[in-house]
Amino acid sequence: MTGSDQNKKEALVRRVGGDVPLLEVRNIVKRFGSNTANDDVSLAIMPGEIHALLGENGAGKSTLVKIIYGSLQPNSGSIYWKGKPVTISSPAEARSVGIGMVFQHFSLFESLTVAENIALALPDCKVTDKLSATIARVSESYGLPLDPSAHIVDLSVGERQRVEIVRCLLQNPELIIMDEPTSVLTPQEADQLFITLNRLASEGCAILYISHRLEEVRVLCHHATVMRRAKVVGETDPAEQTVGALAQMMVGSEIARIAREKGKVGPEKVLLKGLSVPSQEAFGVSLKDINLSVRAGEIVAIAGVAGNGQSELFDALSGEEACPKEDMLILDGEAAGFLTINQRRQLGAAFVPEERLGHGAVPALKLSENVVLTRHGTGEGMAKRGFTRFGRAGKVVEAVTHLFDVRKGVNDPEARSLSGGNLQKFVVGREVHRSPGILVVAQPTWGVDAGAAAVIRQSLIDLARKDRAAIIIISQDLDEIFEIADRIAVISRGHLSAAEDADTLTPEKIGLLMAGGAEKKGAAA
């Protein structure tokens, strides 16, 4: 051990106390073909420590936590648990050791009850009165109250996350990995989560916390390990850093500041008039009397926690689901409620769905082929006399790659080969590159790092200000909404509040509306 390594270890011991890390990974290397996802990565977490793992998209964070949780095996390197070497060959083995994980995307059966979902995750467990009583007691004691008999479909997103956390707690973990845990929560729910995590830490449970929300990392976490391009590039006490400094550590350069001057709005480009759409899904949300007006040159954000009608609203706007009446949706002065997606694109509209892989892009197709899919019927020259012009599509890929810093191994890879953040930049960039008059985008920076988020957000602002586009953003990220939106509306259980000037709103007020206050008749604004 070098003098530098010894100093790091001594600093590690001083952070929380004791001299043996709960978990330590040493010199982890993981390769996928010629790509190195983890390059000599070392990390140590002490008992009772809330430890942030930071890094831009593609930095190697997901690969590392999958190795810790047993979903992947390293090519080389070692894992130590309480000072002893271990091999974690599966998630079940990780749980048996004492490692739990709360995933960003919930793994719950909506038709089952809370108790039934929890029982499925526990070995040899059946739904009994004793289990229900344990769930009620544990959830209440940690400030995460649950009704064991409630069906998942009837729960809010915040309550569903409680189920995931309580299910993890009942496995008696000593280390919990949390991946973007506040991405679907209202500000009030996030505050309660922080209270719970601090309580767990005070009891000796360690938390490995992954988040792109750097302000909450500063407030919550005791220590941070920063990764960049598969390597660990630094460790720090996040409370001693600014958000800008943390972001710069992640990406290796200063993050560009978002420039958002107020612009003049033009004529009305999008109008929803009393849009009511009954849900076609067993557990979907019906839209109820939605009214909204968006003008050229402005960005209107629709806030809300997941599962409150966002996907149904996107489908109605994009044409994936026809409106009940033709004039419930007006695009650039034309009744568009019965138009198909391509017909709406021909009116100058563009759409970016929430699910980038499988909905925004076909995984097995090249990027150029994905360009053709969204442009072949828009009169942009992607098809001529029955032949597809892939050369022209390739030039679009080159332009988007340059403008949005899309990082890829080859010039025209399959969509599934890109990291999540780089694919998001490509999907958004592909539509922005068209300079549409109307853009509807769902979760524009979902799961992307600070640098990529800045690029995407600035491109949306520029599209509105310079190209006079009318933009609707459907987002759960309040930081993002306040950074770029001119007006904000809130969707809750299929109801949309009236859009208000962003400068007159606060996160607390929006949080209250997200929790149910939007269930008042919205008004066109």
Per residue in 396-431, pLDDT (tens digit) is 999 999 999 888 878 899 998 887 778 999 999 999
Say yes or no: 77 and 184 in one domain. Answer: yes
- pLDDT for the residue 273: 95
Number of structural domains (the chain) is: 3
Say yes or no: 227 and 268 in one domain. Answer: no
Between helix 367-375 and helix 390-404 the angle, nearest 10°, is 110
Average pLDDT rounded to a whole number, residues 268-282: 89
Of 389, 407, 433, the position where a domain reaches its end is 433
Q: What is the CATH number of the domain that holds 191?
A: 3.40.50.300
User: Can you tell me the distance from the alpha carbon of 99 to that of 175, in angstroms, rounded to the nearest whole number?
Assistant: 5
Residue 414, in any domain of the structure? yes
Residue 117, in any domain of the structure? no
Say yes or no: 212 and 236 in one domain. Answer: yes
Angle at 499 between CA 497 and CA 500, to 5 degrees: 115
- pLDDT for the residue 321: 92
User: Can you tell me the distance from the alpha carbon of 39 to that of 439, in angstroms, rounded to the nearest whole number?
Assistant: 40
- The answer to whether the beta carbons of residues 49 and 206 sit under 8 Å apart is yes
User: Can you tell me the distance from the alpha carbon of 11 to that of 21, in angstroms, rounded to the nearest whole number?
Assistant: 12
Quick one: which H or E segment has residue 367?
A: helix 367-375
User: Can you tell me the distance from the alpha carbon of 134 to that of 129, in angstroms, rounded to the nearest whole number?
Assistant: 9
Least confident range from 59-63, 307-311, 521-525: namely 521-525
Residue 325 pLDDT > 90: yes
Angle at 211 between CA 208 and CA 216, to 5 degrees: 95
Residue 159, in any domain of the structure? no
Residue 182, in any domain of the structure? yes
Beta bridge partners of 414: 366
Q: Are strands 329-331 and 50-55 parallel, antiparallel or unpaired?
A: unpaired
Categorize the per-residue pLDDT at 256 as very low, low, confident or very high, splitting at 50, 70 and 90: low
How many Cβ atoms from other residues are within 10 Å of residue 381's Cβ?
A: 11
Which of the pair, 383 or 430, is modelled with greater confidence? 430
* Count of positions (residues) in the chain: 525
What type of residue is 428?
V
- The answer to whether the beta carbons of residues 196 and 142 sit under 8 Å apart is yes
Residue 301 pLDDT > 80: yes
Angle at 236 between CA 230 and CA 242, to 5 degrees: 105
User: Can you tell me the distance from the alpha carbon of 397 to that of 411, in angstroms, rounded to the nearest whole number?
Assistant: 8
Residue 112, in any domain of the structure? no
Model confidence over 486-498: pLDDT tens digits? 999 999 989 999 9
Say yes or no: 207 and 325 in one domain. Answer: no
Which of the pair, 376 or 324, is modelled with greater confidence? 324
Beta bridge partners of 43: 25
Say yes or no: 340 and 366 in one domain. Answer: no
Say yes or no: 244 and 271 in one domain. Answer: no
Say yes or no: 273 and 412 in one domain. Answer: no
Token pair recorded at residue 407:
């990082």
User: Can you tell me the distance from the alpha carbon of 65 to that of 55, in angstroms, rounded to the nearest whole number?
Assistant: 13
Residue 118, in any domain of the structure? no
Say yes or no: 182 and 94 in one domain. Answer: yes
How many Cβ atoms from other residues are within 10 Å of residue 194's Cβ?
A: 16
Say yes or no: 524 and 447 in one domain. Answer: yes
Give the 3-state DSSP-derived string for 432-489, with helices as H, strands as E and coil as C: HCCCCCEEEEECCCCCCCHHHHHHHHHHHHHHHHHHCCEEEEEECCHHHHHHHCCEEE
Residue 314 pLDDT > 80: yes
Residue 521 pLDDT > 60: no
Say yes or no: 266 and 344 in one domain. Answer: yes
User: Can you tell me the distance from the alpha carbon of 99 to that of 88, in angstroms, rounded to the nearest whole number?
Assistant: 10
Categorize the per-residue pLDDT at 519 as very low, low, confident or very high, splitting at 50, 70 and 90: low
Burial of 517 (0-12, 13-18, 19+ CB in 10 A): middle
Q: How many CA atoms lie within 13 A of 444 on its CB side?
A: 35
Residue 156, in any domain of the structure? no
- pLDDT for the residue 217: 94
Of 251, 283, 306, the position where a domain reaches its end is 251
- The answer to whether the beta carbons of residues 131 and 148 sit under 8 Å apart is yes
What is the span of the domain harbouring residue 182? 3-98+173-251
Q: Cα Rg for the chain, rounded, in angstroms?
A: 24
Closest C-alpha among 311, 299, 317 to residue 459: 299
What type of residue is 446?
W
- pLDDT for the residue 180: 82
Residue 137, in any domain of the structure? no
Model confidence over 436-493: pLDDT tens digits? 999 999 989 876 777 888 889 999 999 999 999 999 999 988 888 999 999 999 999 8
Say yes or no: 332 and 219 in one domain. Answer: no
**Token match 């976490």: residue?**
221
- The answer to whether the beta carbons of residues 474 and 314 sit under 8 Å apart is yes
Of 400, 433, 466, the position where a domain reaches its end is 433
Contacts of range 135-138, beta carbons closer than 8 Å, 24 or more positions apart: 135/166, 135/170, 138/166, 138/169, 138/170
Average pLDDT, rounded, for the chain? 88
Categorize the per-residue pLDDT at 77 as very low, low, confident or very high, splitting at 50, 70 and 90: very high
Which of the pair, 263 or 213, is modelled with greater confidence? 213
| Residue 213: strand, helix, or coil | coil
Say yes or no: 273 and 391 in one domain. Answer: no
Average pLDDT rounded to a whole number, residues 75-101: 95
Model confidence over 338-373: pLDDT tens digits? 999 999 999 999 999 988 888 899 999 999 999 998
Give me the percent of the chain exceeding a pLDDT of 70.
Answer: 93
